[in-house]
Amino acid sequence: MKIALIQMPVVADKKANLEQAVSRIRDAACQHIDMAVLPEMFCSPYENSQFWHFSEPRGGQVQQAMSALAKELGIYIVAGSLPEAEGEKLYNTSFVYDRTGAEIACHRKAHLFDIDVVGGQRFQESETLSAGDKATVFDTEFGKLGLCICFDLRFQELAMTMGQAGAQAIICPAAFNMTTGPAHWEVMFRGRAVDNQLYTIGVAPARDETASYVSYGNSIAVDPWGTVMCRGGGEAETLVATLEFEKCSQIRQQLPILKARQTKLYKILN
């Protein structure tokens, strides 16, 4: 499966962001990709004060545009994430479209990003967003893929749940920052890949030093052996990686850690 990681700039203009996403996906499609992945909050500044303003309900304009583009180009699109409004609640939601434009998956970020690092990044998503309540795995002709959003990937329990449900890759629209990005981004994508013996794909907005929340960028694809296949910098760019899913079963056979688990030892103490 050939996958494009669209590390795009995100500005405070929904229409401009949508045009940017469409044009970059069109360009990537010239490389005969099967799937394009956009960043977390690709249509909205990553700011609590902006999420309602940039939100849309189920079936909104951005979702319609992504569905139409998937159908036109005959590819899968993981439409990063956007603020999804439902009644009085807002969710950080990722929608997935298949080659016919049908919505085949939708993941609401389940772990809200509430952190306060002394001398570094503070963000409290729970001031505006509500949490999703399920793990998400969807089918493609290549096999099953897992889907989560940014902070969700810090939770090995969720990654393991997706792996156990058959995911051979975890697709993760994300937006780390200049505090946690340099410290944890690569190690996390590599860790989840090695622990679960699957591919991990992280796609982030390009870095904008003038934004109130500065994205680390560094979109990344890691194989099930933990090798970094490609990794961006801070600039806008599109990376393309080819995933060979038989590698997951080969590695699982040769290094059978998933089978060797001693589940009776792993009681979680709340």
What does the binding site for ligand AKG look like in residue numbers (CB under 6 A)? Answer: 40, 113, 150-151, 154, 175-177, 180, 184
Looking at the Cβ atoms of 126 and 242, the one nearer to ligand AKG is 126
Give min distance, CB of 206 to ligand AKG, in A: 15
Give min distance, CB of 57 to ligand AKG, in A: 22
Looking at the Cβ atoms of 40 and 56, the one nearer to ligand AKG is 40
Instruction: Give CB contacts under 8 A, 24+ apart, made by 12-17.
Output: 12/45, 12/50, 14/43, 14/44, 14/54, 14/62, 17/42, 17/43, 17/44
Is 161 strand, coil or helix?
A: helix
- What are the Cα distances from residue 98, in Å, to 69, 138, 188, 237? 10, 10, 28, 23
Strand partners, 230: 221
Looking at the Cβ atoms of 181 and 224, the one nearer to ligand AKG is 181
Residue 163 burial (10 A CB sphere; 0-12, 13-18, 19+): buried
Looking at the Cβ atoms of 39 and 163, the one nearer to ligand AKG is 39
Q: How many whole angstroms separate alpha carbon 146 and alpha carbon 134?
A: 12
Q: How many whole angstroms separate alpha carbon 188 and alpha carbon 27?
A: 29
Is residue 77 within 8 A of residue 108, CB to CB? The reply is no
Looking at the Cβ atoms of 28 and 150, the one nearer to ligand AKG is 150
Q: Which two tokens stand for residue 98?
A: 């298949």
Angle between the N-to-C axes of helices 14-29 and 61-73, in degrees from 0 to 180, rounded to the nearest 10: 10
Give min distance, CB of 250 to ligand AKG, in A: 31
Catalytic residues: 40, 109, 150
Q: Which two tokens stand for residue 257?
A: 């850690």
Give min distance, CB of 257 to ligand AKG, in A: 25
Q: How many whole angstroms separate alpha carbon 7 and alpha carbon 204?
A: 6
Give min distance, CB of 39 to ligand AKG, in A: 10
Number of other CB atoms surrounding residue 68 within 10 Å? 13
